[in-house]
Structure 1
């Protein structure tokens, strides 16, 4: 399975990968009803691990298909789609960024919610600063990373902080949740507000500290096939697969909540 990582530079790579060139089969449906060809999925960064596995499972269920992931912050992905980047599917970490795409007329049908996610405080393994809640993040000498507010993890962080009344000054604002998590893993900050699923995926390096205010900032994850999809048949099949029992089991194992 090919994976293209975040950023506008990735679009150029995906433009090649999504064209069905080389040895890729022509997109569409095989004679037995299974999907063939390349399916390019623009997915929120927090879906990286789950969609990598789901993509492989989709390929196994549809011989002749190839899933390519472009993962980044949902706001960046929405902008790329609206600027004409070749993509078949968009999976966002919040409805707001999906609305950007639907209002531009770029969705094939109505988006559906396929998962939910909420925040934890990610700290280095062993929790050396003894963080137990949001108030601890304001202690002198505690450096914190959060996502920028235009991306879903940042908007959720702001909602949770407002609900708690905690006035937090982060040392960095990251463009996606993986960036915030990386700051903890590299030892550049003492804590970060990230999704529960991301902390679980990095459990060898970080500990996820639950906090009650996160219940006020649960994010719904919508997905939709795109109107200009190079492989619309494949796009619709992938969206359906994400909602299937096997894919939902993968998401649940990663820590996502049912829609």
Structure 2
């Protein structure tokens, strides 16, 4: 299931990230007459006037929630008259929604496999581009009271562990690692996306979860992260693509440009993502 997120409060550190680069990007993509009137439709960008406007709808993996929300706010500042709305959730569910005709401009998935679900139906415009990578980390309760120090500790009979559903990218990465190591972990539940798995630990309904390193970073002191070397066996590439039937293609392209820009990379690397 997907969850829609419109806004998260930015930290003081994030507020200034990439400001100069964003202004430069704004000048580049708004090279026309900035005083021209917006297009008649609130959904469409006024490309003929050289000025972006309207709503950009982005379907994005749940693990991108914090960083993309920050980038969306910066995009709106750089392009007055635009609004970026997000649908965050499990990449497989988002792909299914797009293939069923849900109106969207941009899709950012947490794996090339889930992006392929959309490209195979011809729903994208052009080739998707990998913009970041991510790896798994163990999230434990603050202070790590169960002394989880390695992946094999998750197989302990008294430890309540939560995993992502096998159909979503974090779950697929988890299964790949478990199969490679021969480790058997019996979770108390499978969650539909990485945020759901992390929330179980934050609420103390589980002792540990296998989630992305970026989600441990975003949770702050609500959880404690434990790195493990086997995570290198399943590093996920995150591709982003313009959708074929994008209602606001011009603004969508500009948002993708921002994500891939130096300013975008700074926000994403600050959230713990790896460069491709």
Same fold by TM-score greater than 0.5: yes
Gap runs ≥5 in structure 1: 14-22
Q: Is residue 195 of structure 1 aligned with residue 197 of structure 2? A: no
Gap runs ≥5 in structure 2: 7-39
Would the alpha carbon gap of residues 26 and 80 (structure 1) be closer, same or farther in structure 2, given more than 3 Å must change?
closer
> What is the alpha-carbon distance in structure 2 between the residues aligned to residue 226 and residue 46 of structure 1?
20
Post-superposition Cα deviations, 1:122-177, rounded to whole Å, max 9, x if no partner, equal 00110000000111111121010010111000001111112222111111000000
2:50 paired residue number: 33
Note if contact 1:45-1:71 (Cα within 8 Å) is conserved in structure 2.
Answer: yes
> What is the alpha-carbon distance in structure 1 between the residues aligned to residue 203 and residue 65 of structure 2?
19
Note if contact 1:42-1:77 (Cα within 8 Å) is conserved in structure 2.
Answer: yes
1:217 paired residue number: 234
Note if contact 1:24-1:38 (Cα within 8 Å) is conserved in structure 2.
Answer: no
1:78 paired residue number: 95
- What is the DSSP-based 3-state SS (H/G/I as helix, E as strand, rest coil) of the residue aligned with 2:77? helix
What is the correspondence of 1:155-166 to structure 2 with a 5 Å cutoff?
Answer: 155-166=172-183
Q: Is residue 252 of structure 1 aligned with residue 266 of structure 2? A: no
What is the correspondence of 1:1-259 to structure 2 with a 5 Å cutoff?
Answer: 6-7=2-3, 25=42, 27-29=44-46, 33-259=50-276
> What is the alpha-carbon distance in structure 1 between the residues aligned to residue 43 and residue 195 of structure 2?
34
- What is the DSSP-based 3-state SS (H/G/I as helix, E as strand, rest coil) of the residue aligned with 2:230? helix
> What is the alpha-carbon distance in structure 1 between the residues aligned to residue 116 and residue 172 of structure 2?
15
Post-superposition Cα deviations, 1:177-221, rounded to whole Å, max 9, x if no partner, equal 000000000111110000000001002210110000000010000
TM-score (norm 1): 0.90
- What is the DSSP-based 3-state SS (H/G/I as helix, E as strand, rest coil) of the residue aligned with 1:125? coil
Number of aligned positions between the proteins: 242
> What is the alpha-carbon distance in structure 1 between the residues aligned to residue 46 and residue 259 of structure 2?
18
1:20 paired residue number: none
Note if contact 1:107-1:226 (Cα within 8 Å) is conserved in structure 2.
Answer: yes
How far 1:36 moved relative to its partner?
1.1
CA RMSD of aligned residues (A): 1.8
> What is the alpha-carbon distance in structure 1 between the residues aligned to residue 78 and residue 66 of structure 2?
19
- What is the DSSP-based 3-state SS (H/G/I as helix, E as strand, rest coil) of the residue aligned with 2:221? coil
